[in-house]
Structure 1
Amino acid sequence: MNRSVCFLLALWAAGSTVAAQPYRDVALEAGLGAILRASGAAVADIDLDGDLDLYVVSPEERVEGDPTTYNHLFRNLGDGTFENITAGSGIEPFDGGYRRGQQGNRFGVAWGDYDGDRLPDLFLARVGPERLYRNRGDGTFEDVTVQAGVFGRDDTANDVAGAWTDLDGDGDLDLYVSAWIGPNRYYRNEGDGTFTEMAAELGIVDGGFTWGVLPWDVDEDGRLDLYVVNDFGPNRLYVQQTDGTFLEDTDAWAVGDPGNGMGVALADVNDDGRGDIYVTNIYDRQPNPLYVRHGQQYIDRASDYGVQDAGWAWGVEFFDADHDGDLDLYVVNGFPTDPATNRFFERDGAGFTDVSMGSGTDGAPEARALVVFDREGDGDLDLFVGNFRAPSVLLDRDDPAGNWIGFDLDQPGMNRWAVGAEILLESGGRTMRRYLDGMDMLGQSLVPAHFGLGSSETAERVEVHWPDGVVEVWLGLEAGRYHTLVRGTSTAVETPPDASGDAAPWPNPAAGWVTVPAREGAVEIYDVLGRRRAHRPLDARGRVSLEGMPPGVLFLRTARGAIFSVMHTPEFR
């Protein structure tokens, strides 16, 4: 074969690879070219206009005239492009108080609605005092750090991330702060705009070099537990007890991972109805584990699934990239002394296949943050990769062949976005599950749950497990769009018992009186629009009267903050 023919064949092969490449970087055309360095990143619909906006943290203290040090707030214009609205937002710049850390001095960002107005509020973690900003709803934010009570750290600490979660189950979002140097902290939301720090009292200080944290109910008792991911040592699992304190029980669940833990992702990888966890490490020191649930403990099956080698790994997400109904895996990585490419693992039945090469996802500019989100609202999930020493990339996916469906949740009370809920979807003979924790490496987002449906044109059954344990079911939802599932508007209400065996109000449906799982005090009654209709005492038998309440679904909130739904049918009294 002569050289001309060889050259033409090589050119044809290269052209075929490019043509088949499903992802391409669109950061510049999307308006994100100003992001020259990045640490944490997260998205949320900050103006409630139906699309996802983006905040990106630079790792270095802001220096006027040096754009590599600027944090950025971008508003989504609705067509997948972004406008930089940092100036005038009230978030940048802020006061000093920095000390230079090993990885810079600014790290993580977390979106969460702590005051129950459905407007996402912003928490920023850094070396020194962190910052909490309340969303005013007009494109500006108010620094409420001091009055909220989360300003308690000097420049000896190295806080890296925050996690909004209803850890105490009282209906509002608390805040757990991870520290790479210094103790972790837990701020309990008091429901009045203030927080109380209680990590030591509850037994969840940890004290390791923490990068990531994952709140989820590992023992399925209705109470959230806490998995803490540590650098330079073992991760720890804290299991919540009946009195609200936590017991460190890592060895019993076999999830210690003695490597250099950084990122963590939760998913049901084998469709058995239980959460499995993937942890990012430094591969040549300790392979990345994929802990798959087996009975009452976990087994590392990363090598069986083919995902143990992901380099010097940081951000990680499970998502259905090709809409075929199973979860794929993307891991970003890199370090100056150990450069490596990002890894895209496609689910191929029994395991995963590394398809990074030729996919457009295998960049190698020392990545940290990863956010998977639908910037255009078209069902195709895009990948934002925040690079530590280089401009960030936004990887746009060519249209996958399969159908898809997405869900936002809305419920009354303080946790309007239902952070901590789970969604089960039945379609085409299989059941898929999504966890609404929003956790990313150095970031927490408020994003819709997304499912690939393959050739199915409807979601046959959608089951929402609200954070308080109430289960609602929707049937026959149309594919190809996002649905907002409002609590109390479902086809059916199913409330499973909690660990005490006495969690459901009865009878349900009810007419006249209903017995509530509370032995004393009173309940507040809300309608499906979240309006408070009555405050009524319980009688000696734990019953409350529904006299005068409208027919349909009502929500009963007890004095301890538990929320129950009941179908009121006065016509059948």
Structure 2
Amino acid sequence: MLQFTSTFRSFLGLLIFLLSMISISAMDFHSVQKDNQDSYGAGFSSIGRAAGLNSKTIYGDAGRNRYLLETTGSGIAWFDYDNDGWLDIFVVNGARIEGFPRGQEPTTHLYRNNRKGAFTDVTKESGLARSGWGQAVCIGDYDNDGFDDLFVTYYGKNTLFKNNGDGTFADVSEKAGVAGGRVRWGSGAAFMDFDRDGDLDLFVANYIEMDLKTVPTPENGPCLYKGKFVACGPPGLQGGKNILYQNDGKGHFSDVSEKSGITKAAGTYGLGVLVADFDNDSWPDIYVASDTDSSTLYLNSKDGTFKDIGIEAGVAYSPEGKTQAGMGVAAGDYDGDGLLDIFKTNFAGELSSLYKNRGVKSGLLSFDDAALSSGIGVNTRYLGWGCGFVDFDNDGWLDIFLVNGHVYPEVAGLRSEIGYAQKKILYRNLGNGNFNDISDQVGGPLIEPAPGRGAAFGDFDNDGDQDILINTINDYPELLRCDSKNSNNWITIKLIGVKSNRSAIGARLRLAAGGRVLIDEVRSGGSYYSQNDLRIHFGLGKSEKITSLEIQWPGGLKETLKDLPVNRIIRIREQSGGVDSSQNKAGMSK
């Protein structure tokens, strides 16, 4: 009996070991936890100047700011303006209060990707050399002609640049009806098809109704920060009202802000704008991060109207019920439960917000703030701006990246502050709902301080990993090339709408591989004032085949593709029923 028991126990132990090995093998990339000390599968190289980004972004005085306008900085965009399959770059520029001699004003810049790891400045020949206090940029094909257009917000009149399809752009702002007023301060913006009629509408947040002739300055205002006289912030100023423009399908937009219920939310100093389907009803919702006020979540009622449920849903305030200085925003399913969560950057001394989506229960969409429980609450001294959920190491789990920088140059001499220029932060997703700050571990350009603002993510060299664009204040834009250090697999998907809007903005992708399901959406705007690659990228870990890819097109059509290869950039046209074209990371057509 003892011998049998011992033999049985040995057999049982061997069986359990073998089963565990089989289980681990079958899990591919969906193991639920990674050791904090595991080496990260990606590094970064700063190549901006070498790649040809040789024009500084000018924004206010480099030493001291007298006006709030000089502090916010501007966005940056990845977009393929010439449809050659390679991401180009658009940089929003600013100005200075004292101005510049005629002909020497800083302008926006367009850089064409030359496919050799560098870019060529084509601003003048493209017609995009506009000066002024630029703010945000978003991308979308508003006229469905097959070429993505540009919308840029300003302190003053906004600009819609129509892509002519020949390498040039035309300012059609007034004709299209989206220019706005001269004293309006446009902030975050995004194209969206809120009524799902097949053409792109436009949402624009407005920060403050402000006139530089009357706004307080350090000389005549009571504004102090850590004992230093600084530019006065938004409290006490009139908040801007958000605007929703409806596209008539003929190149013109109508202001439907009142009709849609958008203006029922009070003016709340809106900055970052995020459009996503948070309640999984296939209709786009809108989240606006507000500065020193409650943030807003507009839930799409599917009848042309929206309702602000920010407070009820738990995304308006901090966990303590306090207002925050929200800046950048990002959406992603970081925990793999099929629901889009929200990340929001805030002011120095505040936690970043990580709102975990709990879905709709008893008719109410709700979120929990998981900043502390997830491990991202370790940093409170930084002032965050552009951000994103991005899988840099292609392990199938979305990491969090954010850029930082203070608003007051005066803090550079304070021992209690980190400084005006600040490092970036990278939180690694451990696969169990938790994150680990690996910024110092990865090192390199991540820990080089800079006054960062806008940030955008995309694969400019088509090598299968996500690179980073950062717009800085009074410095050159940063291009951080991601250098993969592992053999994880991936896929990048370009969608082309037919019945839906041509950019496929609002399309939901549901990918099954290696026992897991990943989701994402094609999205305009986001981060802080910036535009990510409109192509969707999924890291796949060690999975060598995609079991299925389900596409919920914004027009209502649902298509499913089976058994797709990995390590490819594929293009899918709505209603085609299959892959339109494919290329490997070297750019070879398949």
> What TM-score range do you get, normalising by the shorter chain?
0.7 to 0.9
1:473 aligns with 2:550: no
Choose the corresponding residue for 1:56, options 86, 91, 94: 91
Match of 2:368 in 1: 299
Match of 2:159 in 1: 131
Q: In the aligned structure 1, how far is the partner of 2:301 from the partner of 2:550?
A: 27
Q: Aligned partner of 2:431: which letter?
A: G
1:28 aligns with 2:19: no
More helix by share: 2
Q: In the aligned structure 1, how far is the partner of 2:311 from the partner of 2:206?
A: 23
Q: Is the 8 A contact 2:41 2:484 kept in 1?
A: no
Shift of 1:363: 2.7
Choose the corresponding residue for 1:372, options 432, 449, 457: 457
Q: In the aligned structure 2, how far is the partner of 1:219 from the partner of 1:330?
A: 25
Match of 2:426 in 1: 344
Q: Aligned partner of 1:58: which letter?
A: N
Match of 1:200 in 2: 258
Shift of 1:277: 0.5
**What's the TM-score, normalizing by structure 1?**
0.77
Q: In the aligned structure 2, how far is the partner of 1:318 from the partner of 1:35?
A: 27
Match of 2:193 in 1: 166
Choose the corresponding residue for 1:429, options 515, 523, 533: 515
Match of 2:576 in 1: 489
Match of 2:530 in 1: 443
1:363 aligns with 2:454: no
1:327 aligns with 2:398: yes
Shift of 1:348: 1.7
Q: In the aligned structure 1, how far is the partner of 2:384 from the partner of 2:576?
A: 42
Shift of 1:35: 3.4
Match of 1:454 in 2: 541
Shift of 1:222: 3.2
Choose the corresponding residue for 1:407, options 466, 477, 493: 493
Match of 1:261 in 2: 326
SS at match of 1:252: helix
Match of 1:562 in 2: none
Identify if the C-alpha distance between structure 1 residues 465 and 51 changes in structure 2 by more than 3 Å, giving closer, same or farther.
same
Shift of 1:471: 1.8
Shift of 1:65: 8.1
Shift of 1:89: 1.4
Match of 2:274 in 1: 214
Q: Structure 2, unaligned stretches of length 5 or more?
A: 1-39, 59-72, 209-239, 318-322, 361-365, 412-416, 581-590
Q: Is the 8 A contact 1:346 1:354 kept in 2?
A: yes
SS at match of 2:170: strand
Shift of 1:292: 0.6
SS at match of 1:274: coil
SS at match of 1:218: coil
SS at match of 2:453: strand
Match of 2:109 in 1: 72
Q: In the aligned structure 2, how far is the partner of 1:483 from the partner of 1:295?
A: 31
Greater relative contact order: 1 or 2 (C-alpha under 8 angstroms, separation 6 or more)? 2
**Residue range with higher mean Cα deviation, 60-69 or 425-434:** 60-69
- Which runs of 4 or more aligned residues in structure 1 lie more than 4 Å from their structure 2 counterparts after TM superposition? 64-68
SS at match of 1:408: strand
SS at match of 2:126: coil
Match of 1:146 in 2: 174
SS at match of 1:150: coil
Q: Aligned partner of 2:397: which letter?
A: D
Choose the corresponding residue for 2:124, options 87, 106, 113: 87
Shift of 1:152: 2.9
Q: Aligned partner of 1:354: which letter?
A: D
Match of 2:226 in 1: none
How many residue pairs match? The answer is 465
1:287 aligns with 2:360: no
Identify if the C-alpha distance between structure 1 residues 24 and 67 changes in structure 2 by more than 3 Å, giving closer, same or farther.
farther
Match of 1:418 in 2: 504
Q: Is the 8 A contact 1:427 1:461 kept in 2?
A: yes
Q: In the aligned structure 2, how far is the partner of 1:58 from the partner of 1:190?
A: 31
Shift of 1:255: 1.0
Shift of 1:295: 4.1
Q: Is the 8 A contact 2:492 2:536 kept in 1?
A: yes
Q: In the aligned structure 1, how far is the partner of 2:493 from the partner of 2:100?
A: 41
Q: In the aligned structure 2, how far is the partner of 1:21 from the partner of 1:65?
A: 45
Shift of 1:224: 2.1
SS at match of 2:312: helix
Match of 2:223 in 1: none
Superimposed CA distance per residue, residues 331-362 of structure 1 (whole angstroms, 9 cap, x where no aligned partner):
10111335332101111232111111142222
Q: In the aligned structure 2, how far is the partner of 1:411 from the partner of 1:341?
A: 39
Shift of 1:481: 1.2
Shift of 1:489: 2.7
Q: Percent identity?
A: 34
Shift of 1:234: 0.8
Shift of 1:88: 2.1
Q: Aligned partner of 2:479: which letter?
A: L
Identify if the C-alpha distance between structure 1 residues 421 and 370 changes in structure 2 by more than 3 Å, giving closer, same or farther.
same
Identify if the C-alpha distance between structure 1 residues 381 and 223 changes in structure 2 by more than 3 Å, giving closer, same or farther.
closer
Q: In the aligned structure 2, how far is the partner of 1:46 from the partner of 1:414?
A: 20
Q: In the aligned structure 2, how far is the partner of 1:225 from the partner of 1:295?
A: 14
Q: In the aligned structure 1, how far is the partner of 2:469 from the partner of 2:116?
A: 16
Identify if the C-alpha distance between structure 1 residues 186 and 475 changes in structure 2 by more than 3 Å, giving closer, same or farther.
same
Q: Aligned partner of 2:202: which letter?
A: L
Superimposed CA distance per residue, residues 220-260 of structure 1 (whole angstroms, 9 cap, x where no aligned partner):
33322221211011101122224321222222211112201
Superimposed CA distance per residue, residues 363-387 of structure 1 (whole angstroms, 9 cap, x where no aligned partner):
3211001111111111121111111
Q: Aligned partner of 2:112: which letter?
A: R
Q: Aligned partner of 1:53: which letter?
A: D
Identify if the C-alpha distance between structure 1 residues 115 and 64 changes in structure 2 by more than 3 Å, giving closer, same or farther.
farther
Choose the corresponding residue for 1:275, options 340, 349, 355: 340
**Pairwise CA RMSD:** 2.3
Identify if the C-alpha distance between structure 1 residues 490 and 24 changes in structure 2 by more than 3 Å, giving closer, same or farther.
same
SS at match of 1:232: strand
Q: Aligned partner of 2:478: which letter?
A: V
Q: Aligned partner of 2:125: which letter?
A: G
**Residue range with higher mean Cα deviation, 81-90 or 216-225:** 216-225
Shift of 1:269: 1.1
Q: In the aligned structure 1, how far is the partner of 2:392 from the partner of 2:130?
A: 37
Match of 2:584 in 1: none
Q: In the aligned structure 2, how far is the partner of 1:22 from the partner of 1:242?
A: 43
1:391 aligns with 2:391: no
